[in-house]
Amino acid sequence: MQPRTYVVALALAALPGALAAQAAAMTAPARVAASPTPVADALRNQEQRYARILVAAAEAMPAEKYGYAPTPAQMSWQAIQTHLAEGNDFLCGKVAGVTAPTRAAVDTTAGKDKLVARLKETFAFCDSALAKVDDSKLAETMTLFGTNPYTRAATIMITVGDWADHYSQESNYLRLNGVLPPTARPRTP
């Protein structure tokens, strides 16, 4: 047998073992401390992340661009901020099973300072409301959006989805105005 044949045969013989080791490494569970409330913990982590990046996005948009909307059919930047603030109070209150604070209405034409302050207030409410949420009532139903029943688990998913949806929307608006979105900026050491 030629030396090249030996090398190829040896490589083919070792290949199944190498592939099996790689597959085992890829499917091995991550070593994460077990939590009795993994869903609630994940929600709190997402709330902290989206509070940080949505507030950073609101602060990044220049005040003179708060009336900006890419087309007349789309929400203005101001309307997005108002919608997020109202949604935070409503959805975090529902998920936590607590009454959201009564706040004076903020007009969708309010300026940057008022809208950023309101957004921060509502994320502070979410932070405190979600602090005691656990996984024991994920199957409990509640009504959202009229008389439509949703489980607490579904409401959690709707809440995080809403934050993600609006951050994506805001990222596009920022880029259309020459501003780099917070998550696209280089990390500082």
pLDDT tens string 74-102: 999 999 999 999 999 999 999 999 999 99
Which of 136, 134, 135, 76 is closest to 107 using CA atoms?
Answer: 76
Task: Tell me the CA end-to-end span of the chain in Å, nearest whole number.
Answer: 57
Q: Is 38 helix (H, G, I), strand (E, B) or coil?
A: helix
DSSP annotation of 177 reads T
What is the pLDDT of the chain when averaged over all its residues?
87
Measured at the CA of 181, the angle between CA 42 and CA 171, to 5 degrees, comes to 80
pLDDT at 110: 87
d(CA 173, CA 166): 10
Query: What are the tokens at 147?
Result: 């008389």
d(CA 76, CA 69): 4
Instruction: Reply yes or no on whether the pLDDT at 41 is more than 80.
Output: yes
